[in-house]
Structure 1
Amino acid sequence: MSIVNNINHYNEQLAPYNTRLIAVSKTKPVEDLLQAYEGGQRDFGENKVQELSAKEEVLPKDIKWHMIGHLQRNKVKYIAPFVHLIHAVDSPKLLAEINKQALKNDRVIACLLQVHIAEEETKFGFDETELMDFLNGDSLKEYNNVKILGLMGMATNTSDKAQVSKEFDQLKSLFNQIKSNFDLENVDMQELSMGMTSDYIEACQAGSTMVRIGSAIFGARNYPQQ
């Protein structure tokens, strides 16, 4: 199947859930992204700042760029002028830096707070207690140049679909709790980013508003040989 056919296939799969497709284009050449763009795709996800910045320079300006990978604070300045949504804000210090760089660029940058839901130590993110402490604290209220639009999470990498669904349901429950109980000017819970190629159906069933799918659209990733 072509890239455009793959895009259409996933959009058809997601439509009943009203879930948006983020086409994860990491390691893929600009030509592949242009094919997806010409097929109507506008939301693209990258996990490395250098690659994201390089592609943004040469591709159409109506693309919405999603930073989906672990973001180092010293790299925020490179994407602050244009990034549409930062999915993986995993610490108060990172959000403070995003706010600082957004102010320099006279922007309000949309962000998702990453929550650690997997039974794996390799995943980044707030645990539930840390998240609630942060939302109840004073520092967030002072950040006028960020907007918290929701939460992001990655389930355990397992073939146990019941386990995956349980983790997604927990994140949805936390999302609903925050949406109902927090009335801050810079918190507007709209987006729940969860689900990838292997578990997007479970994510959609749990209420995901956006899924991150890459190799199933573009083919195997082009990692350089060692």
Structure 2
Amino acid sequence: MLIYSSFSLLAYFISQRYYAHYLILSLPALVIIMGVSLSDIAKSDFARVFISIWVILFSCAIATTKTGTILRGIKGYIALSTGQAPDTPTQISKEILKKINPNETIYVYAYHPILYYLTGVNLPTQYFFSEHHLSSVHAESLGFKSVDEMDHILSQSPRYIIAGSDPEKVEFGSASQLLNDVLKKNYKLKNTYEWPERSGQILLYERN
């Protein structure tokens, strides 16, 4: 367990991509190690009570920081039980599926790529995480320019474009500018959705 947890943590730090979900691989081993350690330490009733109190306080502190996520999860389960869309990606995909044809595609810009799965379309790019083809750092490391990949995507005339960030902000340089130009020329804003995690909006564009 020590070897496994050590290597998984080492891989996490070496990657220099410090996302919390990458630590999930280490959790099982760390929990077992902690449990064994606590069972040895907590020989007396006082020690057990002391440790239990701190575990409860720590759990409450974590829950407080994740209150929004927990509430959205509860709201989603309630919506699902009543036959409604449990989350924003599902809402968007349902609207897209009303009109899209099997041979058409969509493009997800700076938003959750699960929309490709929910709509069942063919991907317009092999880099379905938009950061991988929009970020110049990622694109150059993969051997292409982000604006060229954007041009390739737009050449397929996606029926819908879903933007988690307003292209007018030109967040990703020339790639964003190209997208913004095409949206103004060939697309109309069909709908907007709230994005609670980012306190922003998701923009749904439909081709003219």
| TM-score (normalised: structure 1) | 0.28
* Structure with a larger share of its residues in strand: 1
Larger Rg: 2
| TM-score (normalised: structure 2) | 0.30
* Structure with a larger share of its residues in helix: 2
Larger RCO: 1 or 2 (CA < 8 Å, sep 6+): 1
